[in-house]
Amino acid sequence: MLFLVTLIFRAIAIEFRSKEEMSWWKKMWDVTYSVSSISVAVLLGVVLGNILQGISIEENYHYVGDGFFDFLNPYSILVGLVTLCLFMTHGGLYLLLKTDGKIYSKFEILVKKSLIAFIVLFSMTTVYTLIYIPHLSDKFKQTPALFIVPVLAFLAIANIPRHVTLKKYLSAFIFSSITISLLLIIVAIELYPTLLISTIDPKFNIDIYNAASSDKSLGIMLLFVVIGAPLVAGYTIFVYKTFKGKVKLDEFSY
């Protein structure tokens, strides 16, 4: 739906032939896309931060917190900012592979700034987590072999600035992708089998067992995945092949 709306507005925008006439239109959509994209990235991190530290769940798995603003606590906001900076770095690296000229130079500066911000905020979040949310490191203490995952994550993070400095943006993008994957794996290790931690009492935790659907529902969803996953993968490959290479901009490019 969003794609269709974008196409419609893009078609309208083509009617504005001069740069002056299109200026207000571009600024409006620059602001709209920027605010919406930043909000999504930050709020994804806010959700993750609350999942990691736990929320107020009582008997019968009812949420008894103070509403929406209860989720906007310091830790979740910090995780939200980390997520935003990581996504900015990841997206900026991809755009460096797709652009050239002046916009390419701008993205070089943006990637370096967002990468520095990510490393600083990620370090702060890690220290805070180890000190004030100790339950997230219990699994690693119980099974030392699992420490290989955070070690690999830190190595992947360290390789991003190294390759950015060398202007090897493809390899930096690959390490950025690996970083995101490994950080999600760390979250899975820290929480499994719990999905939502209760800050009231562990017996009210929501896990993969008491939150599971019926066997029939799970079977139907598995069927959807078996059919849908190859279609999504095929569509993604098609899109990337179609738009392979650098994007060539003209005076009416958005």
Cα distances from 152 to residues 22, 95, 149, 174, in angstroms, run 47, 25, 5, 14
- If one compares 2 and 25, the residue with the highest pLDDT of the two is 25
**Domain chopping of the chain, boundaries:** 30-242
Report the range of poorest mean pLDDT among 105-114, 134-143, 225-234.
134-143
Average of pLDDT values for 247-253? 67
- pLDDT over threshold 50, residue 120: yes
Residue 5 has pLDDT above 50, yes or no: no
Of 94-108, 169-183, 237-251, least confident by mean pLDDT is 237-251
pLDDT tens sequence across 28-81: 888 898 899 999 999 999 999 999 999 989 888 888 877 778 889 999 999 999
Q: To the nearest whole number, what is the mean pLDDT of the chain?
A: 87
How many residues does this entry show for the chain?
254
Q: Cα(251)–Cα(41) distance, rounded to whole angstroms?
A: 30
State the pLDDT at residue 253: 61
Q: How far is CA 124 from CA 36, 134, 140, 159, in A?
A: 26, 15, 20, 19
**Given this model, what pLDDT does residue 135 score?**
87
**Secondary structure (DSSP) of 141-152:** HH-GGGGHHHHH
Instruction: Tell me the pLDDT band of 252, cut-offs 50, 70 and 90.
Output: low
**C-alpha span between 106 and 180 (Å, rounded):** 24
Q: pLDDT above 70 covers what percent of the chain?
A: 89
Q: Does the pLDDT of residue 154 top 90, yes or no?
A: yes
**In the predicted model, is pLDDT for residue 2 greater than 50?**
no
Positions of E strands within the chain: 194-196, 206-207
- pLDDT digits 0-9 by tens, 173-226: 999 999 999 999 999 999 999 999 998 888 999 999 988 888 999 999 999 999
- Whether the pLDDT of residue 242 is over 60: the answer is yes
**Residue 250: pLDDT over 90:** no
